[in-house]
């Protein structure tokens, strides 16, 4: 009997920037794409910590997965299976906040498709 394995991956194309490891942290606070800034989730609601980095307020304290980029342009494939399973089970879904955990601190440019 063959067992099927279900996995979820969040993939972004890193076009520029140095080698860095990123964690994918599920956001706990609702935000608005056209209103969100470094300080605000919406025009009337602030992040607990600027950049949506508040552990257990803006985002979960543990990453759903982590992966590293290289110095070259390449895909960053973050395993987020545990987050998708939690969302399917009723956990809130406000997306993920990517946070660099080690490596180059230089600016990076990402594309969601290439």
pLDDT of residue 112: 67
**Residue 78 domain-assigned?**
yes
pLDDT at 16 over 50: yes
- DSSP at 86: H
pLDDT at 56 over 80: yes
Q: Domain residues for 70?
A: 23-102
Integer Cα distance of 55 and 101 in angstroms? 14
Contact 104, 5 (CB under 8 A): no
pLDDT digit string (tens) for 77-87?
999 999 999 99
**Residue 36 domain-assigned?**
yes
**Residue 112 domain-assigned?**
no
**Residue 114 domain-assigned?**
no
pLDDT of residue 104: 87
In this prediction, residue 40 has a pLDDT band, given cuts at 50, 70 and 90, of very high
pLDDT mean over 55-68: 96
In this prediction, residue 13 has a pLDDT band, given cuts at 50, 70 and 90, of very high
**Residue 96 domain-assigned?**
yes
**Residue 14 domain-assigned?**
no
Please count the structural domains in the chain.
1
**Residue 2 domain-assigned?**
no
**Residue 3 domain-assigned?**
no
pLDDT of residue 114: 44
For 3-57, the DSSP string reads PP----EEEEEEEES--EEEEEEEB-S---TTT--SSBSSSS-B-SSTTTT-BTT
């Amino acid at each position: 009997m063959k067992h099927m394995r279900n996995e979820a991956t969040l993939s972004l194309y890193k076009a520029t920037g140095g080698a860095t490891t990123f964690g994918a942290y599920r956001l706990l606070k609702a935000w608005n794409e056209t209103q969100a800034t470094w300080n605000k989730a919406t025009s009337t609601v602030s992040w607990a910590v600027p950049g949506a980095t508040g552990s257990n307020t803006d985002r979960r304290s543990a990453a759903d997965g982590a992966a590293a980029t290289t110095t070259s342009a390449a895909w960053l494939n973050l395993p987020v299976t545990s987050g998708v399973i939690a969302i399917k089970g009723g956990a809130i879904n406000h997306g993920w906040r990517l946070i660099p955990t080690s490596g180059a601190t230089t600016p990076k440019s990402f594309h969601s498709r290439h």
